[in-house]
Structure 1
Amino acid sequence: MSRNILTVTKSEREYKPISQILQRTGIPASEIRRGQGNRSLKRELVNQSISLIIIDLSDLELSGYEVIDKVKELDPDVSVTLIKDNFKLDEAVKLVKAGATDLIEKDELESRLEESVEAIFSKKFEFEKNLKISDLNRDLEEILNNHIINSLPGIFFVIDKTGQIISVNNRFREKFEYEPGEDNHYTNFVSEEDYQAAVESFDTTLKYSSNEVELFLKTKDGGEVPYLLSGITTTINNEMILVGTGIDIKDRKEAERKLLQEQSFTEKVLDSIPGLFYVLDEDMNYIRVNQSFIDQLGYSWQEIQDMHPLDFYFEDDHERIANVIKKAFEEGSASISARVTTKNGEHPYFYLTGSFFNQDGTNYILGTGVDITQQVNLEDLLKQAQRMAKIGAWEYDLVNEKMNWTEVTRNILEVDADYDPDLEAGINFYVGESKDKISKAVEQAIAYGESYDLELKVRTGKGKMKWIRTIGEASFRGGKCVRLHGSFQDITDKKLAEERIKESLKEKEILLMEVHHRVKNNLALVSSLMQLQAYQADEENVYKYLHDNQSRIKSIALIHEQLYQHHDFTYVHLDEQTENLVKHISDSIGDGTEITIDLNLDEVIVNINQAVPYTLILNEVITNTYKHAFNEKREGQITVTLGELNGLISLTVKDNGVGFKEDFDFETPTTLGMTLIKTLSDQLYGSHKFDSGKNGSTFSLEFGKNDSLRGASSSLI
């Protein structure tokens, strides 16, 4: 027997793996391409004495049987090995009958081709029979040869009419506990859950000659694997047998499980959406809705399937709804706000969207709906509130140069409902300085994004002057202003009221100024009268009393003078008041002495109700210091410190004089001055303290800032 091989392939890509395997056999091999025709094939067969021809059937229009016929016509004795992605059982049987020597699937090339070639050339190639059924004819033995059934991608089995498995292929043996001669009833290989289904399938196959079923089979390792089993019946020597194949569908089942899981997940996601979800086809049939669609509208799925989309809306809205659906199909998307009719007769507002998509050549609309009833009601309330508060809104689209005003804005400016404004026309409603201010504000907003809040004057369409408050903000996209928007409020009544209040306050300010001026002058007159009376007094005590009271009156007059000068009729600057009062006392009774005054004064502001008792206390302390602290020396120092921390006001007056007598009783005052200090300190809800020693005395006063205190003299009368 000659040892030459010819390969017939479509291209170099198919030939290369075959060539690499053949090189290992050491047998000479040549090749031709399928497109070279029968003449080239015949020439090679004759000239090269070809013993084996290997043909790749991939993408070949001719069937394997036709290929074998053509080869056998040229050389009936040549061996033919066919290569293909996979061979079905019935196809394999027919190819072997037609004269194929061997059939090799492409994924088995590496493992089987070399062995097959060597077997052919060693004349040892023959089909091993594993199906031993007595009296089977030669054709059946060929069909059931070991080579064919073992080349199948799945399991192969033969069952007799009693249910015993009498023959299997190698794959079956690899997967399951099969021992020839033992009890191999088919039900022994089926899971308990599928036992009944297996029995029914076996009976059906015997009855109708063929059947297909999915069953879980018990494997060697104790597991259970899903198989798709196909069976046909045939009769051999009057004995019926069932010939079957099975394919492991575990991967397919897993894919189906994942698909079902994904479908379940998708269903749950859609049903969890709080709004409506629906799919609509071009025939206006609802293909899918979510649970919220059913719950919110009250219709069952069966009812929805029988309804047209327009059935959910008022008849007046039908044309508008139909146009939106048409737009979605033609342009890809559309949206609308409309009232939907529920099964119980309610009419909530929904914002509905629709997006076009195509699936397997069919057009659909995927839509959503959100209940905006509350939002619509709030918008209605807002419009009513805006009308009542005279607050309108406006918007300017810089891209399309389009200005929009709300109804209230038009009403404020007294223009018609169909008035179509632009930016320039809007600015022209402003007058005088207001026009310049709004023009600049708009320019700054567009250029730099600066917002504005202005109170300006406008002249309405009917020529009426009004005060308005306008607020504006800018929106940018890509660094460029694309939109201005804001509010527009009629504040004419507010402005007129403010002007009336200002005029009234001005009148009261003038009146208070006059009051303080007259009080100051009257106090000055009383002080002058007391001074004249003091000069005429014969007794020194009378003179002293009159002079002390004159100083007290002067201290109060200084307060009214400060209020008059500051045009502030409520609050007094204690630091300024302290400085003026100390200077006045120093000028009045400090002649002939070298007393140095050191002032450490922080800014402290209180109302007049606290300023009066503070000033009287300070007057008593400073006057007493001048009179008594320096009796035996002509020079000295007085330090006055005033401050405020966390609402607590503190005053300290310190001297380096002779101090108080050791037996002086501070707790039980006997003089008018000490009585005033104690009483006025209580009136301030404060505390005071005297410290005295050889190096002088110190007076301390602390009180909290309190605007609710009343008049200074109430506790003295």
Structure 2
Amino acid sequence: MLEYIYIDQKAVGSNPTILLSMSRASDRRLIRKNIPAHFNVIDDTASSFSQFKYDLCITDLNSYKANRQELVDVKKRDLPVFLPIVLLVENSKILKHDPKIWDEVDDVIEVPVPIKMLNMRIKNQLRSRKNSLKIARQNEKLRILEKAVNSTDVGIVISDAQAEDEPLIFANDGFIELTGYSRDEILGQNCRFLQDDDRDQDAVDEVGQLIRNGEKGRSILRNYKKDGTPFWNELSIAPVEDTDGKVSHFIGIQNDVTELIETQKELKEEKNLLRLVTENSADMISRHTLDGTYLYITPSCKQLMGYTPEELMGRNAFEFMHPDDVERVDEEHKVLHEGPVNTDTVTSIFRKRTKSGEYKWVESVSHSSVNPEDNSIVEIQTNTRDISTRKKYEDELNKALDEKDVLLQEVHHRVKNNLAIISGLLQIQQFDSDNEHLNKILGNSVSRIKSMALIHEKLYRSHSLSHLNFKEYIEELIESIRKSHNYAENITINIDCDNTKLNVNQAVPCALALNEIISNAIGHAFPDNREGAIWVKFKEDGEKLRASVKDNGIGIPDSVLNNEKPSMGMTIVETLIRQLNAEKEILTEDGTEFNFTFTRQDVKGAHNRFM
């Protein structure tokens, strides 16, 4: 709209441009000669007027009639800026035949006219143009300002401070959207209509005081939208003064801060709850610098250490730690403030000195607090509790467990010795007997007793009283069997066992079964002192355990396999395998291979009938 305005306001006032549209060249020269020299003059009447930018047009009647429509169009083009046309006529009465000219031109001057009069009337028209230009600029600024105000998300209103009850005279689109009211429902009302009947608020009085004093300020009020929905309104008001210095209007900027207020309320409740928990917790909660200096500590420190929080603030936590614990605890906490950020917690148990000088056993759980801006560790937060009673019970329990271990070792030792005595008695009876069948039975019994005694010996010498290394046991068992049989020197025994830990309640039946199978292989698979080999394997696959004894001897008789001829050894093996819930497999190709597979179980208690 303003692109055609002669923007340089100084030019209108100091160097205006005059367009001369006159039919006679002599008249143009006369005008040019007598108007002020600082005026810029255009008298190129042969060109289109629309291509020129000028501040005033001087024309005569003949030229005006010839260029009437173009001059009027250019004048309309410059609206809302005033573009004056001055018409020079010899007698104004001749215009009565065309009265519309009076509406189209801005001044009619009869000639001849004194030069001073002509210049005065020209300057009056230029002054009017200058004022219209100023008004147009102001209106354009107001239009841009109104557009900007309506584009903002916040509500903006203007009230008339000099009218009764300070009614609203302007409301932007943001205010309409904020409140749900239409512009017609808003204008003319006092802004307090948003409070509905909820006017017993301290903020209402604060806003009223600001208006009465003509001051700017900010308050948060509880307001209501058109549909009755409450919202928290952050209101900022500022007075506008007129030229006399009196407050003429108030500008109010309104922002919905409901979410912020509700969040602050929740945070305040959580903070109060946290304070209630921390200040009433039996545990001592504290914050430290990285070197251990107290930054904050809960009142429970009085109960734990005998100090008040004020007495501990600024002091170092390591100052109250037992000297023998300082180095260890410091090393444990290095992970919290060295290297990359660690979100894990560190638990430490140490002795803490109280105000009375005694030491209490405490347990602390610490973690680091991180600055989110640069991911740096800024402090350590710790929860400390008194575990003196727990520590006392743990010491008593550990002492009792140590005594129990000693007692169990003694039991295993005595059982092993008693089994050795029984084995010795059977061997004495075997030496005194000439009955070969009886001696064989006694020999087998001695072997079985020795296999059980060996388990108790291993447990007695082991750190664990319930589990034993079964690989080591098998190696010693085979050595014991080898010594008890005359044919062992002619037989090669190969061992391939995994380093397996086995519960004693599974170890006993498994050991007895292997004792029977290996003894039978040594005693029956290689008659007539023939040479041979036995392969003993014990493998684990997860929780599955597989025992295997293979020989390259004469093989097991079919009568024994088919239970046609009862065998004491086979009966014992079958019983032990059932006790292990094992699966049995006997292969008779190229000798005999006896396999059984069972699942590892941590059987507790005296479940083994052979123990």
Q: TM-score, normalised by structure 1?
A: 0.55
Q: Contact 2:537–2:549 (CA<8 Å) still a contact in 1?
A: yes
Q: Which residue of 2 aligns with 1:405?
A: 297
Q: Contact 2:505–2:608 (CA<8 Å) still a contact in 1?
A: no
Distance (whole Å) between structure 1 residues aligned to residue 329 and residue 584 of structure 2: 59
Deviations 1:655-695 (A, max 9, x none): 000001234334566122111111111111112222224x2
Q: Contact 2:280–2:300 (CA<8 Å) still a contact in 1?
A: no
- Aligned pair partner of 1:647 in 543, 568, 571: 543
Distance (whole Å) between structure 2 residues aligned to residue 619 and residue 355 of structure 1: 95
Distance (whole Å) between structure 2 residues aligned to residue 506 and residue 412 of structure 1: 31
What letter corresponds to residue 201 of structure 2 in structure 1?
A: M
Q: Contact 1:613–1:680 (CA<8 Å) still a contact in 2?
A: yes
Distance (whole Å) between structure 2 residues aligned to residue 658 and residue 444 of structure 1: 67
Q: Contact 2:350–2:361 (CA<8 Å) still a contact in 1?
A: yes
Distance (whole Å) between structure 2 residues aligned to residue 708 and residue 652 of structure 1: 23
- Aligned pair partner of 1:437 in 328, 332, 349: 328
Deviations 1:607-629 (A, max 9, x none): 11111111110110011000000
Q: Which residue of 1 aligns with 2:593?
A: 698
Q: How does 1:568-583 map to 2 (within 5 A)?
A: 568-583=464-479
SS of corresponding position for 1:643: strand
- Aligned pair partner of 1:99 in 87, 104, 112: 87
The Cα of 1:579 is off from its aligned counterpart by 1.3
Range with bigger deviation, 258-267 or 518-527:
258-267
Alignment partner of 1:392 is 2:284: yes
Deviations 1:247-292 (A, max 9, x none): xxxx99xx99x979999997999799xxxxxxxxxxxx9989xxxx
Q: Which residue of 2 aligns with 1:465?
A: 359
Q: Which residue of 1 aligns with 2:572?
A: 676
| CA gap 1:484/1:388 in 2 versus in 1, 3 angstroms | closer
SS of corresponding position for 1:481: strand
The Cα of 1:359 is off from its aligned counterpart by 11
Q: How does 1:41-52 map to 2 (within 5 A)?
A: 41=39
- Aligned pair partner of 1:544 in 417, 440, 444: 440
Q: Which residue of 2 aligns with 1:526?
A: 422
Q: Contact 1:353–1:369 (CA<8 Å) still a contact in 2?
A: no
Q: Contact 1:56–1:84 (CA<8 Å) still a contact in 2?
A: no
Q: How does 1:580-595 map to 2 (within 5 A)?
A: 580-591=476-487, 593-595=489-491
Q: Which residue of 2 aligns with 1:426?
A: 317
The Cα of 1:306 is off from its aligned counterpart by 5.4
The Cα of 1:493 is off from its aligned counterpart by 2.0
The Cα of 1:556 is off from its aligned counterpart by 0.4
Distance (whole Å) between structure 2 residues aligned to residue 657 and residue 623 of structure 1: 13
Distance (whole Å) between structure 1 residues aligned to residue 573 and residue 554 of structure 2: 21
Alignment partner of 1:517 is 2:413: yes
SS of corresponding position for 2:527: coil
| CA gap 1:440/1:665 in 2 versus in 1, 3 angstroms | closer
Q: Contact 1:593–1:634 (CA<8 Å) still a contact in 2?
A: no
Range with bigger deviation, 366-375 or 681-690:
366-375
- Aligned pair partner of 2:402 in 503, 506, 513: 506
Q: Contact 2:154–2:253 (CA<8 Å) still a contact in 1?
A: no
The Cα of 1:49 is off from its aligned counterpart by 9.9
The Cα of 1:446 is off from its aligned counterpart by 3.5
RMSD of equivalent CA atoms: 5.4
Q: How does 1:30-69 map to 2 (within 5 A)?
A: 38-41=36-39, 67=56
The Cα of 1:407 is off from its aligned counterpart by 2.3
SS of corresponding position for 2:410: helix
Q: How does 1:445-464 map to 2 (within 5 A)?
A: 445-448=336-339, 449=341, 452-464=346-358
SS of corresponding position for 1:593: helix
The Cα of 1:301 is off from its aligned counterpart by 4.2
What letter corresponds to residue 629 of structure 1 in structure 2?
A: A
Distance (whole Å) between structure 2 residues aligned to residue 584 and residue 454 of structure 1: 50
- Aligned pair partner of 2:261 in 369, 385, 390: 369
Range with bigger deviation, 437-446 or 618-627:
437-446
- Aligned pair partner of 1:611 in 499, 507, 510: 507
Range with bigger deviation, 49-58 or 558-567:
49-58
The Cα of 1:520 is off from its aligned counterpart by 0.7
What letter corresponds to residue 592 of structure 2 in structure 1?
A: S
| CA gap 1:85/1:484 in 2 versus in 1, 3 angstroms | farther
| CA gap 1:537/1:269 in 2 versus in 1, 3 angstroms | farther
What letter corresponds to residue 405 of structure 1 in structure 2?
A: I
What letter corresponds to residue 602 of structure 2 in structure 1?
A: D
| CA gap 1:709/1:480 in 2 versus in 1, 3 angstroms | closer
Deviations 1:624-658 (A, max 9, x none): 00000001452111001111113111101000000
| CA gap 1:600/1:590 in 2 versus in 1, 3 angstroms | farther
Q: Contact 2:290–2:337 (CA<8 Å) still a contact in 1?
A: no
What letter corresponds to residue 378 of structure 2 in structure 1?
A: V
SS of corresponding position for 2:389: helix
Distance (whole Å) between structure 2 residues aligned to residue 581 and residue 373 of structure 1: 77
| CA gap 1:303/1:609 in 2 versus in 1, 3 angstroms | same
Deviations 1:296-330 (A, max 9, x none): xxxx940335532499xxxxxx9xxxxxxxxxx99
What letter corresponds to residue 502 of structure 1 in structure 2?
A: N
Distance (whole Å) between structure 1 residues aligned to residue 179 and residue 574 of structure 2: 81
What letter corresponds to residue 283 of structure 2 in structure 1?
A: I
Q: What is the number of residues matched between the two proteins?
A: 481
What letter corresponds to residue 38 of structure 1 in structure 2?
A: P
Q: How does 1:129-528 map to 2 (within 5 A)?
A: 138-142=97-101, 301-305=195-199, 307-309=201-203, 367=257, 368-370=260-262, 390-396=282-288, 403-422=295-314, 424-441=315-332, 445-448=336-339, 449=341, 452-474=346-368, 475-476=370-371, 478=374, 480-528=376-424
The Cα of 1:561 is off from its aligned counterpart by 0.7
Q: Contact 1:683–1:712 (CA<8 Å) still a contact in 2?
A: no
| CA gap 1:586/1:51 in 2 versus in 1, 3 angstroms | closer
Q: Contact 2:299–2:308 (CA<8 Å) still a contact in 1?
A: no
Distance (whole Å) between structure 2 residues aligned to residue 704 and residue 485 of structure 1: 48
Distance (whole Å) between structure 2 residues aligned to residue 358 and residue 580 of structure 1: 100
Gaps of 5+ in 2: 1-5, 18-24, 90-94, 107-142, 156-171, 181-189, 207-215, 223-231, 241-249
Q: Contact 2:583–2:597 (CA<8 Å) still a contact in 1?
A: yes
The Cα of 1:394 is off from its aligned counterpart by 1.5
Deviations 1:590-617 (A, max 9, x none): 4563211111101222211111111110
What letter corresponds to residue 702 of structure 1 in structure 2?
A: T
Distance (whole Å) between structure 2 residues aligned to residue 516 and residue 353 of structure 1: 84
The Cα of 1:540 is off from its aligned counterpart by 0.7
The Cα of 1:460 is off from its aligned counterpart by 1.3
Q: Contact 1:660–1:697 (CA<8 Å) still a contact in 2?
A: yes
Q: Contact 1:613–1:712 (CA<8 Å) still a contact in 2?
A: no
User: Which has the bigger relative contact order, CA under 8 A and spacing at least 6?
Assistant: 2
What letter corresponds to residue 429 of structure 1 in structure 2?
A: F
The Cα of 1:433 is off from its aligned counterpart by 2.3
Q: Contact 1:457–1:467 (CA<8 Å) still a contact in 2?
A: yes
The Cα of 1:526 is off from its aligned counterpart by 0.8
The Cα of 1:567 is off from its aligned counterpart by 2.6
The Cα of 1:555 is off from its aligned counterpart by 0.3
Q: Contact 1:655–1:698 (CA<8 Å) still a contact in 2?
A: yes
What letter corresponds to residue 653 of structure 1 in structure 2?
A: V
Q: Which residue of 1 aligns with 2:452?
A: 556
| CA gap 1:712/1:541 in 2 versus in 1, 3 angstroms | farther
Distance (whole Å) between structure 1 residues aligned to residue 401 and residue 449 of structure 2: 29
